[in-house]
């Protein structure tokens, strides 16, 4: 059985044990009358305008306001003031989705050394994984308990746009301690693969933690709790590995259409966070190779990182020594971001198929395809597979090297007029699934009791 509220044992719980224990602990009151639906967004990844979370929050508030539905958003405590003012979001969660804690000095040194001297980071330390799971789940549970009481009204629809093993236990623990008539409908998006960790190393215990988490969540599934994913690859992964059947909820990201051209100098862009698992470290050599070949191309590179990955810091130094590169520094306001992506002909998505993941999606990928912009992606990633299946237009590259990336850029430029026309055709089909109205429709359908 569960221990008292101050401790989290995280053991597996059968359905029979769950319901017999709940009957003993809870006095269920009659359900109140129906009230107007309110959408509650709990997003501890909402910090700045540079994140996936911000763009999704904007789409949600716009779509729900248009339909006359109420929406409240709770983000991380360190959320930027401009988001509070723009969306009315409330700072709340102590730890963000991307936090890590509990590392020893030796472990921190090991991560830095691995990033400097290895092609990929080693598996994480077991102590770190155990510590992070406990601390972050306890923090998440405590933050959920301190939300306004009316958040948990049974008539509400609660959305958690991204959740991992560091939050699922805390969520189910919180629900355990509430009467059944205070269980709203909850949609949780599994955005990461089980091997993902906030600190960049591949999880050694991720598989077992997710298995335990889904067992803990089993009593709430279907009636209260629904897991969602953004694409079929992620759904297949979780269904095969854990026997759950998450629903597909495509992301509603619509990009600025490119300014079409059939000849002349093309612009190739890299946008989003400058991270090693997103291939930022491949750019300096790949761009230099393209320039040495005399390709008619200019590069636009967004520099956005927090100086904690040595390979990324070094890659920025090398990039800034190159001519013919336009740099965009920091988080871009929405209008500026749309303007710069609109000037871009080809988007680079050189995400690492191992570190980033084979099934994980990308908002920039969706924006690019919906806008009719060809992409270049690594084989073995979701974006790369979409190109190979013919769902997106572009080129893939393998092996995962700067040389292979440069070759893919050259191939795409060599067939540019045809590629540009095909991207425009594929955009029409893709846009029917990835738009704000379709997203709200599906969201409300999944949240219906």
The winner for highest mean pLDDT among 176-185, 410-419, 429-438 is: 410-419
pLDDT 10s digits, 375-400: 999 999 999 999 999 999 999 999 99
Cα–Cα nearest to 299, from 264, 278, 326: 326
- Residue 319 pLDDT class (50, 70, 90 cuts): very high
Q: Is residue 30 over pLDDT 50? A: no
Distances (CA, A) of 49 to 93, 168, 296, 332, 435: 17, 25, 33, 8, 20
Q: Tell me, what's the pLDDT at 209?
A: 94
Cα–Cα nearest to 85, from 49, 41, 40, 60: 49
- Residue 324 pLDDT class (50, 70, 90 cuts): confident
* H or E element, residue 208: helix 206-217
3-state percent breakdown (helix, strand, coil) of the chain, nearest 5: 45, 15, 40
Distances (CA, A) of 368 to 4, 319, 401, 438: 49, 24, 23, 18
Q: Is residue 313 over pLDDT 50? A: yes
Rounded to an integer, what distance in angstroms lies between the CA atom of residue 442 and that of residue 449?
Answer: 13
Distances (CA, A) of 113 to 106, 116, 356: 10, 5, 20
Phi, psi of 227 (to 5 degrees): -90, 140
Look up residue 243 and give its two tokens: 């026997």
Percent of the chain with pLDDT over 90: 55
Q: Compute the C-alpha angle 228/233/236, nearest 5°.
A: 75
Look up residue 282 and give its two tokens: 């491949």
Buried b (16+ CB within 10 A) or exposed e, 171-181: bbbbbbeeebe
Q: Tell me, what's the pLDDT at 18?
A: 41
Look up residue 391 and give its two tokens: 């769902």
Does the model's pTM come out above 0.75?
Answer: yes
Q: Is residue 124 over pLDDT 70? A: no
* β-strand pairing of 247-248 with 157-160: unpaired
Q: Is residue 31 over pLDDT 70? A: no
Rounded to an integer, what distance in angstroms lies between the CA atom of residue 155 and that of residue 39?
Answer: 9
pLDDT 10s digits, 43-99: 999 998 877 889 889 889 988 988 889 999 999 999 999 999 999 999 999 999 888
Distances (CA, A) of 281 to 17, 38, 113, 317: 50, 44, 16, 11
Domains of the chain: 15-252+437-447 (3.40.50), 266-433 (3.40.50.2000)
Look up residue 238 and give its two tokens: 């979780």
Average pLDDT, the chain: 85
Q: Tell me, what's the pLDDT at 258?
A: 67
CB atoms within 10 A of CB 123: 14
Percent of the chain with pLDDT over 70: 84
Q: Positive or negative, the Cα torsion across 253, 258, 262, 263?
A: negative
The SS3 of residue 266 is: strand
Rounded to an integer, what distance in angstroms lies between the CA atom of residue 389 and that of residue 376?
Answer: 14
| Rounded mean pLDDT, 291-308 | 91
């Amino acid at each position: 059985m569960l221990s008292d509220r101050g401790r989290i044992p995280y053991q597996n719980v059968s359905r029979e044990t769950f319901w017999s224990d709940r009957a003993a602990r809870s006095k269920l009151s009659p359900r109140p009358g129906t009230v107007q639906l309110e959408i509650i967004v709990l997003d501890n990844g909402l910090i700045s305008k540079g994140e996936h979370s911000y763009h999704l929050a904007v789409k949600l508030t716009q779509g729900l306001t248009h339909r006359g539905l109420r929406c409240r958003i709770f983000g991380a405590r360190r959320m930027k003031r401009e988001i509070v003012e723009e969306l009315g979001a409330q700072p709340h969660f102590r730890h963000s989705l991307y936090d890590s804690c509990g590392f020893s000095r030796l472990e921190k040194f090991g991560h830095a050394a691995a990033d400097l001297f290895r092609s990929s980071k080693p598996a994480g330390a077991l102590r770190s994984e155990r510590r992070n799971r406990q601390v972050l789940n306890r923090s998440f549970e405590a933050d959920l308990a301190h939300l306004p009481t009316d958040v948990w009204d049974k008539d509400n629809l609660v959305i958690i746009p991204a959740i991992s093993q560091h939050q699922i236990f805390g969520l189910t623990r919180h629900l355990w301690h509430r009467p059944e008539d205070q269980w709203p409908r909850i949609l949780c998006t599994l955005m990461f693969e089980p091997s993902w960790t906030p600190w960049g190393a591949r999880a050694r215990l991720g598989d077992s933690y997710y298995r335990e988490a889904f067992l803990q969540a089993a009593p709430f599934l279907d009636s209260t709790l629904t897991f969602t994913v953004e694409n079929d690859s992620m759904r297949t992964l979780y269904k095969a590995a854990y026997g759950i059947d998450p629903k597909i909820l495509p992301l509603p990201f619509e990009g600025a259409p490119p300014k079409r051209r059939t000849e002349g100098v093309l612009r190739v862009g890299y946008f989003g966070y400058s991270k090693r698992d997103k291939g930022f470290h491949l750019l300096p050599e790949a761009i230099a190779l393209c320039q040495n070949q005399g390709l008619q191309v200019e590069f636009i590179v967004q520099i956005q990182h927090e100086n904690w990955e040595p390979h990324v810091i070094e890659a920025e130094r090398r990039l800034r020594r190159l001519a013919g590169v336009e740099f965009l520094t920091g988080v871009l306001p929405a209008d500026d971001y749309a303007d710069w992506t609109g000037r871009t002909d080809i988007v680079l998505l050189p995400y690492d198929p191992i570190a980033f993941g084979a099934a994980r999606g990308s908002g920039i990928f969706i924006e690019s395809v919906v806008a009719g912009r060809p992409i270049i992606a690594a084989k073995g990633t979701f974006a790369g597979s979409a190109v190979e299946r013919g769902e997106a237009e572009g080129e893939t590259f393998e092996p995962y090297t700067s040389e292979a990336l440069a070759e893919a850029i050259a191939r795409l430029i060599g067939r540019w007029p045809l590629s540009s026309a095909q991207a425009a055709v594929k955009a029409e089909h893709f846009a029917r699934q990835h738009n704000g109205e379709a997203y709200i429709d599906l969201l409300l359908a999944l949240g219906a009791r």
